[in-house]
C-alpha cells in the first residue's frame, strides 16, 4: 500500500446541523477589547478603525479569539495584518445552513514530513458531489527570510498543514458565505519582509485584564489626585522606614570609615615625619692621649726651638725618665708651651 493512500479508519465525517447566529459584535465590544489588552496605544487611528470595521462586518468577536491584529514596521513600511482562526470558517459555513458534512484525510503517520499532505472533503446541500482540497506540506510551509522554517511549522508541521487545508478549502468552497474574511495565522508568514510586530501579544482573559485602566494624572480632578497621593504614601511608608534605617546605618558606617581614614593618614604622617627628621650629630670624641703621643709632641716642639746644644741636652735629660709617665710628660709639655707663648 502506498504511504499516500488514505486509511479507511482515518475517516471521520462531521455531519453538520445549522447553528444559531451569534450575538452581533458592536463597536463598543471592540473598544472594550482594545482597552482590556492595551492595543489602542500601539495602533494608529486608521488601523483601529480598520480592525473595528472588519470585526463588525463579519461579526467576529475578538474576546473569543475569532479575530485579532498585528501591526508591523514603522513609517512607510508599517503594515496592519488582521487574521482569524480556521474555526471561524467552519462556524460560518455551519451557520449558513449549506454545509452537509466535512472531513479531513491525511497521509499515513509514517510519511516523511516533507511529503506529508492533508485533504479537506466538503459536501454542501446545494451541490451534488463532494468537493476536495489538498494541501502539501512543501507548498504550505512558511519560512523566514533566511530560509529556515518558522517556529509553529517546525513544532507542529502536520497540524499546521491540516489547518491550512481546512482554511483554504472552506474559504474556496464557501466564498459566497465568507465574503472576504481575513486569512488565518497558519497561512501568514511569521516575518513580514523583516518588519517587527509592534503590537503586544494578547494575554488570556481574567479578572485582572478586564479591570478598567486607571486614569492618567491629567484626567483626574483634585479629589482623585488627593486619593492617589494618600494611597501612594501608605504604600511607600514601609519602604521609607526601611530606607531611614538604611541611611542611619550608612551614616554610622561612613563616620567609622572617615575616622579610620583620618587615623591612617595621621599614622602615615607621623611615620613620614619621623623618617624625614635628620639624625642627631654626634660630638667628636676627644682623641686618646698616650705617653708616646705627648713625647713626640714635646720632641717636635723642642726641635722647632732655637736651642743651644746644652739646652737640648738638659731637655733630653728631663724627657728620658718621664718617657713612660704620661703625667710627667704632660707637665713637661705644658712648661715648654708656656715658655713658647
Q: How many CB atoms lie within 10 A of CB 183?
A: 15
Q: What is the pLDDT of residue 209?
A: 45
Among the candidates 210, 243, 258, a domain finishes at 210
Question: Do 159 and 307 share a domain, yes or no?
Answer: no
Q: Is residue 242 part of a domain?
A: no
| 321 Cβ contact list (under 8 Å, min separation 6) | 328
Question: Do 102 and 202 share a domain, yes or no?
Answer: yes
Q: What percent of the chain clears pLDDT 70, i.e. is strictly above it?
A: 57
Among the candidates 179, 210, 241, a domain finishes at 210
Write the DSSP symbol of residue 129.
Answer: S
Q: What is the pLDDT of residue 188?
A: 74
Q: CB–CB of 136/146 below 8 Å?
A: no
Q: What is the pLDDT of residue 2?
A: 35
Q: What is the pLDDT of residue 164?
A: 92
Q: What is the pLDDT of residue 337?
A: 63
Question: Do 205 and 303 share a domain, yes or no?
Answer: no
Of 168-182, 270-284, 313-327, the range with the lowest mean pLDDT is 270-284
Backbone φ, ψ for residue 103 (5° rounding): -155, 160
Question: Do 166 and 312 share a domain, yes or no?
Answer: no
Cell matching residue 317: 735629660
Write the DSSP symbol of residue 23.
Answer: P
Domain residue limits at 116: 8-210
Of 56-65, 107-116, 169-178, 182-191, the range with the lowest mean pLDDT is 182-191
Is the pLDDT at 119 greater than 50, yes or no? yes
Cell matching residue 249: 546605618
Q: What is the pLDDT of residue 43?
A: 85
Question: Do 183 and 298 share a domain, yes or no?
Answer: no
Q: What is the pLDDT of residue 207?
A: 47
Q: Kindly report, residue by residue over 18-72, the tens digit of the pLDDT.
A: 556 678 889 999 889 888 888 877 888 888 898 888 889 888 998 888 888 888 7
Q: Is residue 2 part of a domain?
A: no
Q: Is residue 265 part of a domain?
A: no
Question: Do 182 and 39 share a domain, yes or no?
Answer: yes
Question: Do 200 and 296 share a domain, yes or no?
Answer: no
Q: Kindly report, residue by residue over 276-318, the tens digit of the pLDDT.
A: 555 666 666 655 656 667 666 666 666 666 566 666 666 666 6
Q: Is residue 279 part of a domain?
A: no
pTM metric for this prediction: 0.50
Q: What is the pLDDT of residue 294?
A: 64
Q: What is the pLDDT of residue 116?
A: 95
Is the pLDDT at 330 greater than 80, yes or no? no
When pLDDT is cut at 50, 70 and 90, the band that residue 6 belongs to is very low
Domain count, the chain: 2
DSSP structure string for 167-221: HHHHHHHTHHHHSSPPPBGGGS-SSBTTBPB-SPPPPPP-HHHHSPPPPPGGG--
Among the candidates 159, 183, 210, a domain finishes at 210
Q: What is the pLDDT of residue 194?
A: 37
Mean pLDDT of the chain: 75
Is the pLDDT at 234 greater than 80, yes or no? no
Find residue 143's DSSP bridge partners.
149
When pLDDT is cut at 50, 70 and 90, the band that residue 125 belongs to is very high
Which residue in the block uniquely carries the three cell numbers 499532505? 117
Q: Is residue 30 part of a domain?
A: yes
Question: Do 321 and 182 share a domain, yes or no?
Answer: no
Mean pLDDT of 163-170: 92
Q: What is the pLDDT of residue 210?
A: 43
Q: CB–CB of 86/185 below 8 Å?
A: no
Question: Do 60 and 175 share a domain, yes or no?
Answer: yes
Amino acid at each position: 500500500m502506498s504511504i499516500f493512500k488514505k486509511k479507511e479508519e482515518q475517516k471521520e465525517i462531521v455531519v453538520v446541523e445549522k447553528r444559531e447566529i451569534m450575538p452581533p459584535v458592536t463597536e463598543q465590544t471592540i473598544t472594550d477589547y482594545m482597552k482590556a489588552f492595551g492595543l489602542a496605544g500601539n495602533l494608529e487611528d486608521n488601523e483601529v478603525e480598520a480592525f473595528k470595521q472588519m470585526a463588525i462586518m463579519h461579526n467576529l468577536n475578538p474576546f473569543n479569539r475569532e479575530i485579532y491584529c498585528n501591526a508591523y514596521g514603522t513609517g512607510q513600511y508599517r503594515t496592519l495584518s488582521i487574521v482569524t482562526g480556521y474555526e471561524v470558517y467552519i462556524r460560518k459555513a455551519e451557520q449558513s445552513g449549506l454545509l452537509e458534512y466535512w472531513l479531513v484525510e491525511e497521509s499515513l503517520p509514517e510519511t516523511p514530513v516533507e511529503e506529508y499532505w492533508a485533504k479537506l472533503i466538503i459536501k454542501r446541500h446545494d451541490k451534488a458531489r463532494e468537493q476536495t482540497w489538498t494541501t502539501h506540506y512543501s507548498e504550505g510551509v512558511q519560512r523566514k527570510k533566511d530560509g529556515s522554517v518558522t517556529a509553529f511549522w517546525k513544532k507542529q508541521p502536520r497540524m499546521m498543514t491540516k489547518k491550512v487545508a481546512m482554511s483554504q478549502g472552506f474559504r474556496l468552497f464557501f466564498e459566497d458565505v465568507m465574503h472576504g474574511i481575513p486569512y488565518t495565522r497558519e497561512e501568514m508568514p511569521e516575518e513580514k519582509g523583516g518588519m517587527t510586530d509592534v503590537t503586544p501579544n494578547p494575554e488570556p482573559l481574567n479578572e485582572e485584564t478586564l479591570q478598567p485602566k486607571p486614569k492618567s494624572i491629567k484626567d483626574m480632578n483634585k479629589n482623585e489626585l488627593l486619593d492617589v497621593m494618600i494611597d501612594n504614601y501608605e504604600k511607600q511608608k514601609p519602604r521609607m522606614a526601611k530606607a531611614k534605617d538604611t541611611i542611619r546605618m550608612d551614616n554610622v558606617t561612613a563616620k567609622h570609615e572617615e575616622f579610620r581614614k583620618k587615623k591612617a593618614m595621621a599614622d602615615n604622617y607621623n611615620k613620614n615625619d619621623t623618617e624625614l627628621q635628620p639624625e642627631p650629630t654626634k660630638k667628636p670624641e676627644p682623641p686618646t692621649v698616650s705617653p708616646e703621643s705627648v713625647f713626640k709632641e714635646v720632641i717636635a716642639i723642642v726641635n722647632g726651638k732655637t736651642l743651644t746644644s746644652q739646652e737640648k741636652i738638659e731637655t733630653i735629660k728631663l724627657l728620658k725618665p718621664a718617657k713612660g709617665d704620661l703625667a710627667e710628660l704632660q707637665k713637661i709639655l705644658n712648661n715648654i708651651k708656656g715658655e713658647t707663648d
